[in-house]
Amino acid sequence: TIEETAEKIEDYLSQSGAPYSLIHSVDPFNHDGLIDFLPKDVSKAYAILWWIEHHDGDAEEVVFAGDSGNDRAVFESGIRSIIVGNADRRLASKMQAYHDTRGWKNRLYLAEQSATQGVLEGCRWFGLISPESSLQS
């Protein structure tokens, strides 16, 4: 399984002292296992927070959308997030529980629709676009 493979690679990285971290996930469309290697302590959450800090942004103006385990760092960061409907529902449940245990309200939206339609659904929920807004063909 992808989990077993990722665990073996993580063990190797740890034993070798390699300055990398590993994120594993499953592609929500074709169900392939995915393994991402990043420099240690770098993640999508780190990148977003860095961008906000270096562009005089406001984290409260950011909404992130994702669908797999490689988005987990953002979901766990407190940045307002949308988990689209095609995401692994186990991941969605874990992230909802994570938010619940921290008492975070209105920071995570679990969309029913997939992909771009799920992003639009979440944007409506966060009040970023009007309820009538839809994708143009």
pLDDT in tens, 12-52: 999 999 999 898 888 877 888 889 888 888 899 999 999 99
Does residue 103 or residue 33 have the better pLDDT? Answer: 103
Report pLDDT for 136. 58
3 state DSSP class of 36: strand
Does residue 89 register a pLDDT over 80? yes
Give the Cα separation of 73 and 85 in Å (integer).
19
| Nearest Cα residue to 43 out of 11, 14, 9, 20 | 20
What is the arithmetic mean of pLDDT over 106-135? Answer: 91
What is the arithmetic mean of pLDDT over 88-92? Answer: 91
Is the whole model's pTM more than 0.85, yes or no? no
Q: Any idea what DSSP says for residue 128? A: S
Instruction: Compute, in degrees rounded to 10, the torsion defined by CA atoms 49, 55, 60, 62.
Output: -70
Report pLDDT for 137. 44
